[in-house]
Structure 1
């Protein structure tokens, strides 16, 4: 059975973050984040996309308060990678050599896909860089032994072409964070009984010379893959098991000329 928590998540998150914002959008406070977590704690089943939304909020908040690369280091899994224009690189060794930029990238999730066993999740959303340019990102989250989530993969690209600038009065760098959360959608994979192997996910054949990586959830109900083609184009594909078949989840072609979110 397909389970979508978009209405519950949208109402709870939107109410918590947008209440009291008549004077303009602002970043969520610790009290608002606590309200979000309490409001969404009753979502059905062990797999709750709300946990990934809360993680994304904390991730973006740390980037604003403590520095972009400080946050990326804190939320990286030991084997986490960042998918830049020249291909994926190990996140923690690269981040250890970086200094925080004066202003961080701002972002907010739009959709979260989660495996039935909650071991793996994928978020996709929008970001804005310090110059005001916007784009899309994909992040793969893995549950750790302590129950927290850390990213295995993060990649993004700027829109090409860029959309027109926002109307006067909506240029605040946090608009993309707050307004994204009032429409966030959560999808959970169907749970599988023991002894029910799944067919292979329908990833397209790779081009000659392409590099490929990716994993699957512990129960196999969510799979993802990155590719770096020989000519430099980047791809991200993922599939979730719902309704007795593979459904396409987060997917995006970054293109050889696309700028990154980093």
Structure 2
């Protein structure tokens, strides 16, 4: 599997340095997807060098949610976990970002030390000092590994005309968890739904194209009963 460092190298148009550069204040046209590439690299490096769960804690927002497989408050769950002998490995395949750079999404593949493979979607929120921390980590196993892309791709929401403020979505009647968020400029938004009956969950992400929202991620997982 191509490592994150190699993945960064094949997206030269997106970044030339593995370390995040000084970021402009959020605003129209300030999105920089290469910063998320750098965050993924630093995240994976810490997992290798200092421990998988320590890295997850360090890179998680205080409000972050993850699935284990049920939804949990990440910081509360992570601090109770013993470190595995060897960490998970992962590669980002695609990146999306709001026009103002306050919210981003990475999607890719992971591999456990035992050879189990799967996919993931991570939603990243920009912090006050310009760094990004993840607010949602979602994924599942696969029977076979995702094919590696020729190169990591990135897409930024259309700047200019801002989207209209949408009415809040109505959660399903049997939803146990229903939450989400959006970028400060409203050009990238997400929500997660977990049903109470069978723990089925879905994560939906939409990106503004200038006239409407395109669904760029629609993850649906029904855990085995």
In the TM superposition, 1:247-262 aligns within 5 A as: 247-257=214-224
Q: Which has the higher helix share?
A: 1
2:134 corresponding residue in structure 1: 151
Aligned residues of 1:233 and 1:257 also touching (Cα < 8 A): no
The 5 A counterparts of 1:122-161 are 122-159=105-142
Q: Which runs of no fewer than 5 residues in structure 1 stay unpaired?
A: 1-9, 17-32, 167-175
Contact 1:120-1:143 at 8 Å conserved across structures: yes
Q: Secondary structure at the match of 1:138?
A: strand
Give distance in 2, aligned partners of 1:234 and 1:96.
Answer: 24
Counterpart position of 1:209 = 174
| Secondary structure of the corresponding residue to residue 10 of structure 2 | helix
RMSD: 3.0
Distance in 1 (CA, whole Å) between partners of 2:221 and 2:112 is: 16
Alignment of 1:92-131 (within 5 A): 92-131=75-114
Distance in structure 1 (CA, Å) of the matches to 2:43 and 2:34: 14
Q: Compute the displacement of 1:92 (Å).
A: 1.0
For 2:11 and 2:98, the matched residues in 1 are separated by 27
Asked whether 1:13 is paired with 2:9, we answer yes
Q: How many residues align?
A: 211
1:47 aligns with: 31
Offset, 1:233: 1.1
The offset of 1:207, in angstroms, is 3.6
Higher strand share goes to which structure?
Answer: 2
Relative distance call for 1:71 and 1:38 in structure 2 (3 A) is closer
State the TM-score, normalized to the length of structure 2: 0.83
Relative contact order: is structure 1 or structure 2 higher (C-alpha 8 Å, sep ≥ 6)? 1
- Distance in 1 (CA, whole Å) between partners of 2:90 and 2:107 is 10
Contact residue 198 and residue 222 of structure 2 kept, 8 A: no
- In structure 2, distance between residues paired with 1:76 and 1:38: 17
Shift of 1:234: 1.5
Q: Does 1:234 align with 2:217?
A: no
Where in structure 2 are there 5+ consecutive unaligned residues? 1-5, 24-28
